[in-house]
Structures are given as structure tokens and as C-alpha cells.
Structure 1
Amino acid sequence: MNATQVSDHELVTRAQQGSEKAYRELLGRYERPVFSIIYRMIRDREQAEDLAQETFVRVFNHIDRYDPKYKFSSWIFKIATNLTIDHIRRKELNTVSIDGSRNATTAEQIEATAITIISPDENPEELLEAKELGEEIEEAIGRLRPEYRAAILLRHVEGREYQEIAEIMALPLGTVKTYIHRGRNELRETLQHLKV
């Protein structure tokens, strides 16, 4: 059987039995998506790499605790988002500068994580406008509370269903819907202020 045809469940079972090959396959499948969600939440490549690595260390150390009634992707994203939310909270406590302002996101970080909304039919001017809108959206997402940020990214960037987001964030479904609703409202308000 080709490795790409093996289900996550089968790979997890093999990893739980001590197969390093199965664990490496899981790592290969989830390394990029895990890094992506962390990076979009904190917009710092070095920290995102560290948190992604820590996520996989925890997965490896606690693979025996994985509950197969949930998707493996939900479990791994839960670990990643919890680590990242904790990191954001610690950083927010420690990064207020002497003048009371917070460290700004660099242009390079915005460029690296910008959401672009493009169509192949757009001309260069439309492409530039779409790129700028993507950067504004990323900046607005970066201003959300960590929980809202995670919910919005999981729903609108990762394309996760509400129920899976509830599993990932260990929250009731209604709370997830509330976070996404409030997050969207805050994004709308922030984007309106950015355009002023």
C-alpha cells in the first residue's frame, strides 16, 4: 500500500506501536499545515518554527493519549493552537515597550503571511489592490484576541468545519460560532478604520 493511501488512523496506530516510519509520515503530512496556522497567528517565522517543533514533540510524547473518536488533524491542531494561544498571551504580557506601545509587525512578516485575493483575469492594478487588501486582512486578524484569531483562521484560512474547530479548541459549538461572529465583526470594524 502506498504511504499516501494509508489513513491517519492507521499511521497513528503504527506510531503508537513504536513505528518511527509512521511517525515521520504523520510529520510529513502535518508539518506544513501546523506551521501555517501557527505562523498566521503570530507572524514570526522563528517563533512559529519553535512552536511547530514543540507541537510535534508533544504529539510524539503523547501519541498514546490520542482518542481515535476524533480526527487526528483535530488533535494535532488543538495542540498547536493551544501552544500558540499560550505563547501569544505570554508575549502580550511581556512586549509592551517603555512608551506603552506594542512591537509593530514588520513589512517582511506581513508580506510573508499576506492573504491575497486574486483571479487570473485581473490586471496589475487589480492584483496590487488585492494584495493590499490581503495585507490589511492579515493586519486586522493580528489584532484579534488570540481565541478569535484561532477560530477565524481555522474557519476561513484552513477551511475547517465548525464542529472540528470546537474539537480543536475544546469549546462548545455555540462558543466557537460566537467567537467567529465576534471576530468577523471586529475584523470589519478594524478594516473600516484602516481605510480611513
Structure 2
Amino acid sequence: MPHLFQDSSDKALLQACRQGNEAAWEQLVAKYERLVYAIPLNYGLSRDEAADIAQHSFILLLQNLDSLRDDERLGGWLAMVARRHSWRVLARRQREQATPDDDLATLPNQVDDSQRQQRERQERLEWVMAGLNQLDDRCRQLLLALYFESDQPTYEAIAQQFNMRVGSIGPTRARCLARLKEYLPN
């Protein structure tokens, strides 16, 4: 079992990563992989595209470990990388799907509405992810498993993963959601 750092703050993990500590890197990736994976999915991209974007985001992080300006804002940095790469994929897809028969008069309005809806969804997701990062690790991991896992695990699988009874998942989820709600804007 890999060594888990007592201080799992971004700053401590990034410092250990800069020193070549693989366990710190694994813990850092585990902490943010669901966030990074969820962003492209929220934009309507496929699971394969989301996996590619997540991989790209963590490669960029690895390449830029020494040049990050604020270690405590790592989640926002990763979210921005994933968001920008998602936009590139969407723009490329839109260019590839455009045909000469498109009604050019209605296309700008459709694009504006679609982009606005995507931005609103993304903003809500970012609020939720920021709130999740304020929760204790157990609540955060439980809510991520329940709502952000791509394969939507069963309660039995979640119970096994978190070493808890199936019957206690619902009440625990409710308490965690109540705590999360405290961190969300009205």
C-alpha cells in the first residue's frame, strides 16, 4: 500500500512531487482526477475524450511543477487546464461537423446558447468541486464515488470501498450533502 502523507495539502504534496516522490504524485492525482475527468464530461465530451483531457492535464502539471505560482490553487489551475482543453476539443469538433448547408443566420445564436449553457454548467460544477474540496476526505470521496464515478458503482461496491454497511450509505450521504450545501452559494 502506498505511503499516504499526513499533510495532504496541495502545498505539501507538490513539494514532495518536486523532490521526485512517486507516492505524493499518486496521492495528488487521486485527489484531483475526478475533478479533471468530470469537466470534459460536463461539456458533453465522451469518456475517451475526458480521459485524454485528464491525462493531458496531469502531463502539463508534471511539466510545470516548478513553475506553479500558487500551490494552494492547484485545483483551480487543473480545472482551467481541463476546461481550456475541452473548449479546444469542442471547437475542433464543431469545425469538423460544419457543413456548407448550415443555416448561417441561425448558427451564431445556436452557438451562443450552447456556449452559455456550457458555461453555466461549468460554473455550477466548479462551485460543487470547490465545496467538495472543503469537506473532510471521507465525505469528499464518498460524494465523488456516488456522483462522479463514470461507471456509477452500486451501493454494495461503495460499501465495500468505504468499509461501511450498505444501510449507512444513504444517511452518511445526506450528512455529507448537508455539509457541502454550506459551502455553496445560495
8 Å CA contact 2:18–2:66 kept in 1: the answer is: yes
Question: What secondary structure does 1:6 align onto?
Answer: coil
1:144 matches 2:115: yes
Match of 1:27 in 2: 29
Alignment of 1:144-183 (within 5 A): 144-145=115-116, 147=119, 149-155=121-127, 157-158=128-129
Q: 1:6 aligns with which of 2, 5, 8?
A: 8
TM-score (norm 2): 0.54
Question: What secondary structure does 1:81 align onto?
Answer: helix
TM-score (norm 1): 0.52
> How many matched pairs?
120
Distance, in Å, in 1 between the alignment partners of 2:121 and 2:91 is 12
8 Å CA contact 1:39–1:48 kept in 2: the answer is: yes
8 Å CA contact 1:11–1:23 kept in 2: the answer is: yes
Matched letter for residue 144 of structure 1:
Q
**C-alpha offsets along residues 55-80 of structure 1, whole Å, 9 cap, x if unaligned?**
11111111111112651111111111
Q: 1:2 to 1:56 in 2, by over 3 A?
A: closer
Unaligned runs of 5+ in 2: 104-112, 132-186
Q: 1:70 to 1:95 in 2, by over 3 A?
A: farther
Q: 1:45 aligns with which of 44, 47, 57?
A: 47
Unaligned runs of 5+ in 1: 102-141, 161-196
Q: 1:54 aligns with which of 44, 53, 56?
A: 56
Distance, in Å, in 1 between the alignment partners of 2:65 and 2:71 is 14
Matched letter for residue 158 of structure 1:
M
Match of 2:76 in 1: 74
Question: What secondary structure does 1:71 align onto?
Answer: helix
Matched letter for residue 81 of structure 2:
I
**C-alpha offsets along residues 129-150 of structure 1, whole Å, 9 cap, x if unaligned?**
xxxxxxxxxxxxx923455553
Question: What secondary structure does 2:75 align onto?
Answer: helix
1:96 matches 2:98: yes
Matched letter for residue 93 of structure 1:
R
